[in-house]
Amino acid sequence: MSDDVLDRWEPVIGLEVHVQLATASKAFSSSAIAFGAPPNSLTDPVVLGLPGALPVFNRRALEHAVRLGLAVGATIRRRSRFARKHYFYPDSPKGYQISQYDEPLCEGGAIELVCGGQRRAVRLTRIHLEEDAGKNTHTAGTTSLVDLNRCGVPLVEVVSEPDVRSAEEAAEYMRALHALVRYLGISEADMEKGQMRCDANVSLRPRGATAYGTRAELKNINSFRFVQKAIEHEILRQARILDGGGTVVQETRLWDGAAGTSQSLRGKEEALDYRYFPDPDLPVLVVDDATIDGLRAGLPELPMARLDRLVALGLALDDARTLMVDRDLGDYFDAALQARGDAALQARGDAALAARGDAAAARSLANWLVGDLLGALNRDGRAVADSPVTPAGLAALVRLVDDDVISGKIAKDVLARAYASGEAPDAIVEREGLRQITDAGAIEALARQIVEANPKQAAQYRGGKDNLLGFFVGQLMKASGGKANPQLASELLRKLLAG
Ligand code: ADP
Ligand code: MG
């Protein structure tokens, strides 16, 4: 994005994110939830809104939502209420959606994130419970298809304050929330399956102004990358309008990820249009202190706690962030770190080195994981959980590098081959005898051969061309199959050439 737009205009962004709660059955009935089931096979009279069918709220969904509220430091309302939100569309057979309106389950709290090398907090307005709608598919012809399998699936809607100030920060907010719900185990949050969906509200104001400008709401954003792209696009669109002396229309716009543009969907509805009223079929939703205390006690380590722990271990903030936003990657790192400690313990009986807090070991492990291994996994579109190199395997390899048993260059090669074959990296090192040659006698013998084989260069070196030392070291490394210890090789060559 051209910077002069951002010099003049400050983006103000608030996000409304829907997250599907991981439950076996729907929010208000025993109808099952499954992705990819035959259309309209997962319904029942409640989902279909048949006369006389009555909703009963899913306790598991409530517990999941309370966990999220506790994790973000929200206030949990002890008595909240369901409301009917009316609209007429084929994806909603009842003619209304059960949601929460004036008495949501959670209020306040914040999502913490790392953006631009800094920790930030984005305040939350509320988190409320609601049910999902079905899915309409409009075919190329004149037909529209309705699938009600998703209808009635429990969701939380997480509404932020307009605290976000850039497209990048909005994407980080999504990653942080995604990480949080996955750590909590309350949602798979698979964006490709629509389990986490984002509506972004965007407005601009002149730099230095305090009043908010008119916002547009972008719907249908279904990836982290698109969150950033859609908002960047919207910022430019609004800046062009405002720079041309126009006004931004408050409206809902549909983001088209394939085209990279948005188009107006409809004017903004007002709450009044939805004719909210308390759902008479559902009792007040009561959460007692014992339930809250029990759920609080069961919370796992949260993403930001992991981040702090990794930073305290000695990792750079950005590496810690990379390991934090992906729970599987963070778990992989923890397992490797544990194995790293155990391996060192076995090898040396040195309890201090085996301690999980060994900063140098942690940093080098993080570098190999985030750099080489993650690079290969990303290149192939493979999940960390399916890594052909196990945490123990990576830990063993990194220990060999850290202990100067193999060079970094050989380790890269071994890692690539272990990744391709699934063999343990340390087994490859042993089988192929890749341990570094640190025996001075053996290296010196090689050094002599190299010097003798290159008399012209030797003479030039002795005549003052110091930088030819690199040539000799290179030749020696090549002759040793990369196994000679480079420092030792360089030292011995220097001595030999000087003598
Ligand atoms: P609605 O429910 O009608 O969509 P809300 O007032 O509840 O509207 O706000 C929805 C979202 O829009 C919130 O995330 C809020 O932070 C954000 N928002 C409100 N005003 C602005 C604004 N001027 N610019 C950007 N975002 C805004
Ligand atoms: Mg909205």
In a shared domain, residues 30 and 167: yes
- Going from the Cα of 132 to the center of ligand 1, the distance in angstroms, rounded, reads 21
Quick: pLDDT tens for 400-416.
888 888 888 889 999 99
Cα distance from N-terminal residue to C-terminal residue, the chain: 61
H or E segment at 14? strand 9-20
Q: In the prediction, which pLDDT does 266 show?
A: 80
Burial class (CB in 10 A: 0-12, 13-18, 19+), 65: buried
Distance CA 399, CA 391 (A): 12
Residue 53 pLDDT exceeds 60: yes
Is the Cβ atom of 126 under 6 angstroms away from ligand 1? no
* Closest ligand (CA of 12): 1
Look at ligand 1, atom 15, and give the residue with the nearest C-alpha.
14
Look at ligand 1, atom 17, and give the residue with the nearest C-alpha.
14
Distance CA 367, CA 168 (A): 24
In a shared domain, residues 281 and 390: no
Distance CA 376, CA 389 (A): 11
Distance CA 391, CA 116 (A): 29
Mean pLDDT of 66-89: 97
Distance CA 342, CA 391 (A): 12
Number of domains observed in the structure of the chain = 3
- Going from the Cα of 327 to the center of ligand 1, the distance in angstroms, rounded, reads 30
- Going from the Cα of 16 to the center of ligand 2, the distance in angstroms, rounded, reads 7
Is the Cβ atom of 13 under 6 angstroms away from ligand 1? yes
Residue 16 CA: nearest ligand 1 atom is 14
Q: What percent of the chain has pLDDT over 90?
A: 77
In a shared domain, residues 250 and 375: no
Pairing state between β 154-160 and 118-131? antiparallel
* Closest ligand (CA of 126): 1
Contacts of 36 (CB under 8 A, 6+ apart): none
**Structural domain boundaries, residue 372:** 303-432
Q: In the prediction, which pLDDT does 440 show?
A: 82
Quote the Cα angle for 285-291-292, to 5°: 95
- Going from the Cα of 166 to the center of ligand 1, the distance in angstroms, rounded, reads 15
Q: In the prediction, which pLDDT does 278 show?
A: 96
Mean pLDDT of 158-186: 97
Could you tell me how many residues make up the chain? Answer: 499
Structure tokens at 195: 């389990």
Positive or negative, the Cα torsion across 308, 313, 318, 319? Answer: negative
Using most ligand atoms within 8 A of CB, pick from 16, 204, 248 the residue to mutate for ligand 1.
16
Q: In the prediction, which pLDDT does 482 show?
A: 82
Q: Which of 413, 432, 451 is the last residue of a domain?
A: 432
124: which strand partners? 160
Distance CA 400, CA 411 (A): 8
Residue 174 pLDDT exceeds 90: yes
In a shared domain, residues 293 and 352: no
Mean pLDDT of 256-262: 91
Look at ligand 1, atom 11, and give the residue with the nearest C-alpha.
14
Quick check: 442 and 413 in contact, CB under 8 A?
no
Residue 120 pLDDT exceeds 70: yes
Mean pLDDT of 114-128: 96
Q: Which of 260, 282, 297 is the last residue of a domain?
A: 297
Positive or negative, the Cα torsion across 38, 265, 156, 302? Answer: positive
Mean pLDDT of 191-216: 96
Contacts of 425 (CB under 8 A, 6+ apart): 389, 393, 394, 396, 397, 400, 411, 414, 415, 418
Quick check: 215 and 161 in contact, CB under 8 A?
no
- Going from the Cα of 157 to the center of ligand 1, the distance in angstroms, rounded, reads 13
Look at ligand 1, atom 7, and give the residue with the nearest C-alpha.
159
Q: Which of 432, 458, 482 is the last residue of a domain?
A: 432
200: which strand partners? 15, 218
Residue 214 CA: nearest ligand 1 atom is 23
Mean pLDDT of 413-420: 95
Residue 343 pLDDT exceeds 80: no
Residue 10 pLDDT exceeds 80: yes
Mean pLDDT of 152-158: 98
Contacts of 147 (CB under 8 A, 6+ apart): 39, 40, 134, 135, 136, 137
- Going from the Cα of 78 to the center of ligand 2, the distance in angstroms, rounded, reads 25
Residue with more model confidence, 73 or 476 = 73
DSSP state for residue 38 in the 8-state scheme:
P
Q: What are phi and psi of 9, to 5 degrees?
A: -115, 140
Q: CATH code at 445? A: 1.10.10.410
Distance CA 35, CA 302 (A): 27
In a shared domain, residues 124 and 244: yes
Is the Cβ atom of 14 under 6 angstroms away from ligand 1? yes
Quick check: 369 and 398 in contact, CB under 8 A?
no
- Going from the Cα of 464 to the center of ligand 2, the distance in angstroms, rounded, reads 75
Most trustworthy range by pLDDT among 88-92, 95-99, 337-341 = 95-99
H or E segment at 112? strand 110-115
Look at ligand 1, atom 24, and give the residue with the nearest C-alpha.
203
In a shared domain, residues 241 and 123: yes
Residue 435 pLDDT exceeds 90: no
In a shared domain, residues 264 and 144: yes
pLDDT category of residue 353 using cuts at 50, 70 and 90: very low
Residue 159 CA: nearest ligand 1 atom is 14
- Going from the Cα of 124 to the center of ligand 2, the distance in angstroms, rounded, reads 14
Distance CA 92, CA 39 (A): 15
Q: Where are the alpha helices (DSSP H) in 349-390?
A: 351-354, 359-368, 374-380
3-state secondary structure of 185: coil
Is the Cβ atom of 160 under 6 angstroms away from ligand 1? yes
DSSP state for residue 29 in the 8-state scheme:
S
In a shared domain, residues 89 and 144: yes
Mean pLDDT of 22-46: 96
In a shared domain, residues 262 and 366: no
Structure tokens at 391: 């945490």
Is the Cβ atom of 238 under 6 angstroms away from ligand 1? no
- Phi-psi category of residue 119: left, alpha or beta, with phi > 0 → left and psi -120 to 50 → alpha: beta
pTM of the model: 0.86
In a shared domain, residues 179 and 290: yes
Is the Cβ atom of 74 under 6 angstroms away from ligand 1? no
Q: In the prediction, which pLDDT does 357 show?
A: 45
Question: Residue written as tokens 């400690």?
Answer: 341
Distance CA 173, CA 306 (A): 17
Distance CA 161, CA 452 (A): 74
Mean pLDDT of 322-338: 94
Is the Cβ atom of 201 under 6 angstroms away from ligand 1? yes
In a shared domain, residues 96 and 243: yes
Mean pLDDT of 106-114: 97
Using most ligand atoms within 8 A of CB, pick from 100, 165, 201 the residue to mutate for ligand 1.
201
Mean pLDDT of 217-240: 95
Residue 160 CA: nearest ligand 1 atom is 14
Which residue, among 127, 47, 17, 123, has the nearest Cα to 80 in the 3D structure?
A: 127
Residue 356 pLDDT exceeds 50: no
CA distances from 327 to 121, 321, 367 (A): 20, 11, 17
Residue 268 CA: nearest ligand 1 atom is 3
- Going from the Cα of 160 to the center of ligand 1, the distance in angstroms, rounded, reads 8
In a shared domain, residues 293 and 307: no
Residue 15 CA: nearest ligand 1 atom is 14
Is the Cβ atom of 12 under 6 angstroms away from ligand 1? yes
* Closest ligand (CA of 165): 1
- Going from the Cα of 404 to the center of ligand 1, the distance in angstroms, rounded, reads 57
Is the Cβ atom of 203 under 6 angstroms away from ligand 1? yes
**Mean pLDDT estimate for the chain:** 92
String of DSSP letters for 122-141 = EEEEEEEEEE---EEEE-SS
Is the Cβ atom of 251 under 6 angstroms away from ligand 1? no
- Going from the Cα of 72 to the center of ligand 2, the distance in angstroms, rounded, reads 21
Contacts of 367 (CB under 8 A, 6+ apart): 319
